[in-house]
Amino acid sequence: MEPYPHGWDVWSNGIKAFMAEKGIQPSWIYTSEEADAPQYLEHLGIETVLVDPERTFMNISGAQIRENPFRYWEYIPTEVKPFFVRTVAILGGESSGKSTLVNKLANIFNTTSAWEYGRDYVFSHLGGDEMALQYSDYDKIALGHAQYIDFAVKYANKVAFIDTDFVTTQAFCKKYEGREHPFVQALIDEYRFDLVILLENNTPWIADGLRSLGSSVDRKAFQNLLVEMLKENNIEFVHVKEADYDGRFLRCVELVKEMMGEQG
User: What pLDDT was estimated at residue 264?
Assistant: 44
Statement: residue 209 has pLDDT above 70: no
pLDDT(263) > 60? no
Percentage of the chain surpassing pLDDT 90?
69
| Stretch 85-109: mean pLDDT | 92
**Gyration radius of the chain over CA positions:** 24
- pLDDT tens, 100-127? 999 999 999 999 999 999 989 998 998 8
Q: How many CA atoms lie within 13 A of 63 on its CB side?
A: 5
> Given this model, what pLDDT does residue 219 score?
83
Predicted pLDDT at 251: 96
Nearest to 69 by CA among 56, 83, 53: 83
Secondary structure of the chain in HEC code, one letter for each residue: CCCCCCCHHHHHHHHHHHHHHHCCCCCEEEECCHHHHHHHHHHHCCEEEECCCCCCCCCCCHHHHHHCCCCCHHHCCCCCHHHHCEEEEEECCCCCCHHHHHHHHHHHCCCCEECCHHHHHHHHHHCCCHHHCCHHHHHHHHHHHHHHHHHHHHCCECEEEEECCHHHHHHHHHHHHCCCCHHHHHHHHHCCCCEEEEECCCCCCCCCCCCCCCCHHHHHHHHHHHHHHHHHCCCCCEEECCCCHHHHHHHHHHHHHHHHHCCC
Contact 222, 171 (CB under 8 A): yes
Greater pLDDT, 210 or 224: 224
In the chain, what percentage of residues exceed pLDDT 70?
A: 92
Please check the confidence at residue 256 and state whether its pLDDT lies above 80. Answer: yes
Let me know if 209 is exposed, middle or buried by CB neighbors in 10 A (0-12, 13-18, 19+): exposed
**pLDDT tens for residues 156-181?**
999 999 999 999 999 999 999 999 99
Domains and CATH numbers, the chain: 8-59 (no CATH), 81-261 (3.40.50.300)
The rounded mean pLDDT for the chain is 90
Least confident window among 159-173, 177-191, 212-226:
212-226
Residue 215, pLDDT score: 67
pLDDT in the model for residue 49: 95
230 in Cβ contact with 37 (< 8 Å): no
Supply the pLDDT for residue 261. 85
